[in-house]
């Protein structure tokens, strides 16, 4: 066991810190601490610019292989990068779906042509992706999707509806799960298509969320098209690819989020000290408990990183369940620490009915953490069946 950073890691940290200090200034100053879950609608154009500046300096997709435009840095360096990014107040990464979900999926399952066509736009920060999985009747039971795609004259023609599609209003592309063989069984006959968002056959209807903002939307496909070769993996083999993406989603989340959580935790400690909640024996217990929980989150991640295999092992199986529940409980604690003040929102802003404080957003948004990317219940099923080998429930 070695808990120290190497010399190279220390100088990498210094490099990141220096670059951020020099670049996250001027017109980007207003982005500090903004964007991200519950605040994705904030200053989208400016955040796109920032995303391109990051890309030009080579800070997007740093963990990707070099041939795909990344720096191939080890995971520990990614952790360091995230730590520094959050410490500097770096805005929510508007390109995160491309960087953490679609990119790794294409690198793993995509054709060389698809990689050449789509990865550069993610790396240079110019193109935004969204994830078209869920439908009104296909949430946890994802394989129940009904959206169809049919091949006509060298193009897939798509009909159907997606829902809860995060970042859809701003996205250039969507990876869409479609049924391409209606006669096949549920999990067969699904294909994974890459679809341009800005076209006549697509209608996007934003949905107002619990926070008052609209980060996700309904997406209607009414004869929307995409080229025949925009299918990832084989036709009718999209379920396998979709599950690959989900594994990336569930694996990647912890590290990027922990640093944000630490920041929120610091806000709560500061509030407790300010308003005297820090002297309440019960709240002291709960704040200490949250701190211990956050510390363990980091230790879990470090343990996972220290395992060689890229397979998600037992240590990683519960990461999503753990962080989402920690964050939900933490949101409740934050409100209790604030007491009466927890009710006071900020003056109305340009988006939504009101403007919430960071901790209010966190409190509200955390209710979705235990739902998206596999609900708590689905996560426990997965842990029980895959990590512990318990028998499946009857289906």
Partner 1 sequence: MEFRFTEDQNELRSQARRFLAAESTAAHVDKAMKTELGYDPDVWARVAGELGWPGLVIPEAYEGIGLGQLDLHPLLEEMGRHVFCAPFFSTVCLGANALLVAGTTAQKQAHLPAIAAGELTATLGYRGPSAPALAEGASAVTLVAEERAAGFTLTGDVSYVVDGHSAGLLIVAAWVGDESSGELGLFALPGDTAGLTRTYLPTMDQTRRLASLRFDGVQLDKDARLTGMEGGRALSVILDLAAVGLAAEQVGAAEACLDMAVEYAKVRQQFGRPIGSFQSIKHICADMLLKVECARSAAFYASAVAAQLMADMEGGKLTEQKGRELAEAASSAKAYCSDAFFHCAGQSIQVHGGIGFTWEHAAHLYFKRAQSSRALLGSAQHHRERVATLLGLGDEA
Residues classed as catalytic:
249
Residue 112, classified by CB atoms within 10 Å of its CB into exposed (0-12), middle (13-18) or buried (19+), is exposed
Pick from 12, 28, 64, 164 the residue near ligand FAD by CB under 6 A: 164
Positions in 128-157 near ligand FAD (CB under 6 A): 130-134, 139-140
Nearer to ligand FAD, 322 or 372 (CB): 372
Residue 30 binds what, of partner 1, ligand FAD, none (CB under 5 to 8 Å, by partner type)? Answer: none
The neighbour count for residue 294, using CB atoms within 10 Å, is 19
Which whole-number Å values give the CA distances from 114 to 230, 244, 341, in the listed order?
Answer: 7, 17, 51
Residue 303 binds what, of partner 1, ligand FAD, none (CB under 5 to 8 Å, by partner type)? Answer: partner 1
Which whole-number Å values give the CA distances from 250 to 87, 157, 217, 231, 308, in the listed order?
Answer: 24, 31, 22, 23, 18
3 binds partner 1 (CB under 8 A): yes
Nearer to partner 1, 161 or 304 (CB): 304
289 binds partner 1 (CB under 8 A): yes
Pick from 100, 300, 324, 362 the residue near partner 1 by CB under 8 A: 300
The neighbour count for residue 270, using CB atoms within 10 Å, is 12
Nearest distance from C-beta of residue 302 to ligand FAD, angstroms: 28
292 binds partner 1 (CB under 8 A): yes
Which whole-number Å values give the CA distances from 58 to 32, 35, 66, 101, 201, in the listed order?
Answer: 20, 21, 11, 19, 35
DSSP state of 237: B
Nearest distance from C-beta of residue 27 to partner 1, angstroms: 36
Nearer to ligand FAD, 70 or 169 (CB): 169
Structure tokens at 132: 């078209």
Pick from 97, 174, 241, 321 the residue near partner 1 by CB under 8 A: 321
Helices 238-275, 75-87: axis angle to 10 degrees equals: 40
Do 250 and 100 meet the contact criterion of CB atoms below 8 Å apart? Answer: no
342 binds partner 1 (CB under 8 A): no
Distance, CA of 342 to CA of 50 (rounded, Å): 32
235 binds partner 1 (CB under 8 A): no
Do 115 and 68 meet the contact criterion of CB atoms below 8 Å apart? Answer: yes
Please report, as ranges, the residues that interact with ligand FAD according to CB under 6 A.
130-134, 139-140, 164-166, 216, 368, 371-372, 375, 377-378
Please report, as ranges, the residues that interact with partner 1 according to CB under 8 A.
1-6, 9, 76, 269, 272-273, 276, 278-279, 281, 284-285, 287-289, 291-292, 295-296, 299-300, 302-303, 305-307, 314-315, 317-318, 321-322, 377, 379-381, 383-385, 387-394
């Amino acid at each position: 066991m070695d808990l120290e950073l190497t010399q190279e890691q220390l100088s990498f940290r210094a490099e990141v810190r220096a670059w951020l200090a020099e670049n996250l200034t001027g017109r980007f100053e207003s982005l500090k601490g903004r964007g991200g879950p519950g605040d994705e609608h904030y200053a989208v154009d400016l955040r796109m610019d920032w995303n391109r500046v990051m890309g030009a300096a080579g800070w997007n997709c740093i963990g990707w292989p070099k041939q795909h435009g990344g720096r191939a840095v080890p995971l520990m360096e990614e952790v360091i990068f995230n730590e520094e990014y959050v410490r500097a107040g770096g805005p929510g990464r508007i390109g995160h779906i491309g960087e953490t979900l679609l990119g790794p999926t294409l690198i793993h399952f995509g054709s060389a042509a698809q990689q050449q066509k789509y990865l550069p736009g993610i790396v240079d920060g110019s193109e935004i992706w969204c994830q078209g999985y869920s439908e009104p009747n296909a949430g946890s039971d994802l394989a129940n999707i009904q959206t169809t795609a049919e091949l006509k004259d060298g193009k897939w023609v798509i009909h159907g509806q997606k829902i809860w599609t995060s970042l859809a209003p701003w996205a250039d592309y969507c990876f869409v799960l479609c049924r391409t063989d209606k006669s096949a069984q549920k999990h067969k006959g699904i294909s994974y298509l890459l679809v341009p968002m800005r076209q006549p056959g697509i209608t996007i209807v934003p949905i107002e969320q619990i926070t008052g903002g609209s980060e996700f939307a309904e997406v209607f496909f009414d004869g929307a098209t995409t080229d025949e070769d925009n299918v990832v993996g084989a036709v009718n083999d999209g379920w396998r690819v979709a599950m690959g993406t989900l594994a990336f989603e569930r694996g990647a989340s912890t590290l990027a989020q922990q640093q944000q959580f630490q920041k929120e935790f610091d806000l709560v400690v500061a509030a407790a000290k300010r308003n005297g909640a820090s002297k309440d024996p019960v709240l002291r217990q709960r704040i200490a408990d949250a701190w211990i929980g956050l510390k363990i989150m980091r230790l879990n991640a470090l343990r996972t990183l220290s395992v060689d295999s890229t397979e998600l092992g037992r240590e990683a199986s519960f990461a999503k369940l753990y962080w989402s529940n920690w964050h939900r409980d933490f949101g409740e604690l934050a409100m209790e620490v604030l007491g009466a003040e927890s009710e006071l929102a900020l003056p109305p802003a340009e988006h939504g009915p009101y403007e919430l404080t960071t901790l209010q957003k966190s409190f509200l948004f955390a209710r979705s953490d235990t739902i998206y990317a596999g609900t708590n219940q689905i996560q426990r099923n997965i842990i029980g069946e895959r990590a512990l080998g318990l028998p499946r429930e009857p289906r």
